[in-house]
Every structure is written in C-alpha cells, then in structure tokens.
Amino acid sequence: MKTDAELAASLDGDFTSEHAEVNGTRLHHVTGGRGEPLVLLGGWPQTWWQFRKVLPELATRFRVTAVDLRGMGSSAKPESGYDKPTMAQDIRELIRHLGHESAFVAGHDIGASVGYHLAAGHPAAVRKLVTIDLGVPDASWLDITMLPGSDQQAKELEAGRGGYPWWFAFNQLRGLPEQLLAGRFRHLIDWLYGHMLLDQASVEEDARRIYAHAYDAPDAIRAGNGWYQTMRQDVAALAGYAPVEIPILTLAGESSYPALRAQMGPDKGTDIRVVEVRGSGHYVPEEKPDAVIREIVEFFGAA
C-alpha cells in the first residue's frame, strides 16, 4: 500500500504530506498549489484521497489543503473530541497553523458538517463555505426511523440503492462494529459505493483498497463511528448559533437534492444556494469531479 507521501507526490501540483499539532490532537493534511487558501474536509468512510480528482486542478488556482479529520486516515484517533464543534476548532487551529487567518472551506459528508460548525462558531475563519451532499445534521435527523420509513426506501434498498441510512444506528454501537469489521472493512466500502454511486467505475479498485486499509483497524473503526455517536451533541450545539451570514453553496447528488433544498433553509444561513449535480450519487467529488471544480472555482471567485 502506498504511503500518504507517495500518494501526494503522484498528484500534479507539488503536493506534500504533513502533520500539524492542533487543539490537542495531530492532524494529517496534504497541501499543494498556490493562491488563496482552500481547505477540503472529507467524510466517512474515506480519507483525504477522496479529493484526488479535484486537487490538481484546484491547485492551479488555490493553495489547497486536503485534511484527514480527527480520527481519519493518518490523523490521530483520540478517545474523544468527535463532536463537530471540537472538530471545527481543530480546523480553525489548522488554518492558523498553515499561516492564514481565514480560508475558503469545502466539505463532503461529515466534512460538510464540520465545515458548517466552523463557519457558525468561527465566522471570521471561513470566507465562503461549500457543503457537498450533506448540509448539517439538525433536529430532523433525530426522527430517522429504525426501519425504512417508506415502501420507496425499502424498494431502493432491494434495488441496490442507498435509500435508508442503516449505518447511522449501527455506528452508535460501541465495540461491536470493531469486532465485526476489523480486517473486513472492504465489504462495507463496496456496499456503500454499490448503493450510493451511479457510476461504479468512478471509484477505482486502488481507491477502495486505500479506504479499506485506512479503516481496517479497530481504532480506526471506533474513531469513524465517533463522528456519528456525537450527532445528538451536534444537533444541540446548533441552538447556540445564529444563521450563518457568509455565502454557502450546497452541492447535492440527484437523490439528495430534494432533502437538502428543504434542510438548507434560512435557519441555517442568510445566503444559501443549493445546486443539483446531475449524474451523481453521494460521492460527488469522485463521481463528478469536473462539476465540483467548476462550482467551487465559480463560487469562490478564483482568478
């Protein structure tokens, strides 16, 4: 398996793999390019490598940094701190470590939630925010049913589509996921991609091996599950925020678009636009990288 340094060196843009001590933890990040600072935050169950298709082009316009969040990839996996305000503080301190007072921020999945909490809790740190196929978990998430909530969700599962997020409940368990998945995480990788990609070829074999390797160990499984186990805390934290005033762009895959249009309303921000990415499932940066690049560059206004 290639190291992060080898993977970074394989990308155009003079990318380097580095670590930073911030907020009492150790974050791994890959940085390259030049221009205004842009920070990319990924999701479960992936690593910074999920941005491999967009990093080289973005590096021609930005000084871009792809981060392994607390508990992800080559970052530290502490026992606690997986609530999104704490993870947002990690990124706030990382931006300063990189030599900036503020940055453009784009996050996918869990990274989108971290990005939102960063913008809400540290508004001076975020110039503009892009959230990709997730807005921010709010009180509506507490009503997700234990069983598929409709016949349509059940049919989508039978047909090999995402439909129903059963892993939200599974990832609440402590100890059992590690026992079941350690050394076998590739099965979960393939199931998730199988159900939430429209184009299976968009995530190649090497990438799937990289992600499976990153999550195969018990500590990695525990840490990734921690992002889900704190969601009730994350929802409660929203009550302490005013609607975000910086511009927010939400990119949504085809199946997520209706829900994200409803979720990303005026209670979340004063300037929010939700855009559907046609031909994409959940993993938009891997499935439709050209659309992500185009929307990010236009929204952030890079020269």
222 part of a folded domain:
no
170 part of a folded domain:
no
What band does 225 get if pLDDT is binned at 50, 70 and 90? very high
**What does the pLDDT look like over 36-81, one tens digit per residue?**
999 999 999 999 999 999 999 999 999 999 999 999 999 999 999 9
Q: Are 285 and 277 in contact (CB under 8 A)?
A: no
Strand 16-22 relative to strand 25-33, pairing: antiparallel
Q: Which residues contact 73 (CB under 8 A, 6 or more apart)?
A: 4, 28, 47, 48, 49, 214
- What does DSSP assign to residue 159? T
189 part of a folded domain:
no
Rounded to the nearest 5 degrees, what angle is found at the Cα of 215, between the Cα atoms of 214 and 216? 105
Assess whether pLDDT exceeds 80 at residue 34: yes
Q: Which residues contact 117 (CB under 8 A, 6 or more apart)?
A: 84, 85, 87, 88, 136, 234, 237
Assess whether pLDDT exceeds 70 at residue 303: no
Full residue range of the structural domain in which residue 49 is found: 4-143+231-300
**What does the pLDDT look like over 175-195, one tens digit per residue?**
999 999 999 999 999 999 999
Assess whether pLDDT exceeds 90 at residue 214: yes
148 part of a folded domain:
no
Assess whether pLDDT exceeds 50 at residue 291: yes
CATH number at residue 129: 3.40.50.1820
CA 32, CA 265: separation in Å to the nearest integer? 34
Helices (H) and strands (E) in the chain, counts: 14, 8
CA 63, CA 34: separation in Å to the nearest integer? 4
What pLDDT score was predicted for residue 83?
A: 98
CA 210, CA 169: separation in Å to the nearest integer? 25
What pLDDT score was predicted for residue 153?
A: 85
194 part of a folded domain:
no
What pLDDT score was predicted for residue 243?
A: 97
**What does the pLDDT look like over 232-290, one tens digit per residue?**
999 999 999 999 999 999 999 999 999 999 999 999 999 999 999 999 999 999 999 99
What pLDDT score was predicted for residue 42?
A: 98
Q: Are 66 and 37 in contact (CB under 8 A)?
A: no
What pLDDT score was predicted for residue 155?
A: 87
Strand 272-277 relative to strand 36-41, pairing: unpaired
217 part of a folded domain:
no
**What does the pLDDT look like over 111-170, one tens digit per residue?**
999 999 999 999 999 999 999 999 899 999 999 888 888 898 888 888 788 778 999 999
225 part of a folded domain:
no
Q: Total structural domains in the chain? A: 1
Residue 226 CA, distance from chain mean position: 14
What band does 302 get if pLDDT is binned at 50, 70 and 90? low
Residue 126, judged by CB atoms within 10 A of its CB (0-12, 13-18, 19+), counts as buried
CA 82, CA 80: separation in Å to the nearest integer? 6
241 part of a folded domain:
yes
CA 72, CA 46: separation in Å to the nearest integer? 8
Q: Which amino acid is at 218?
A: P
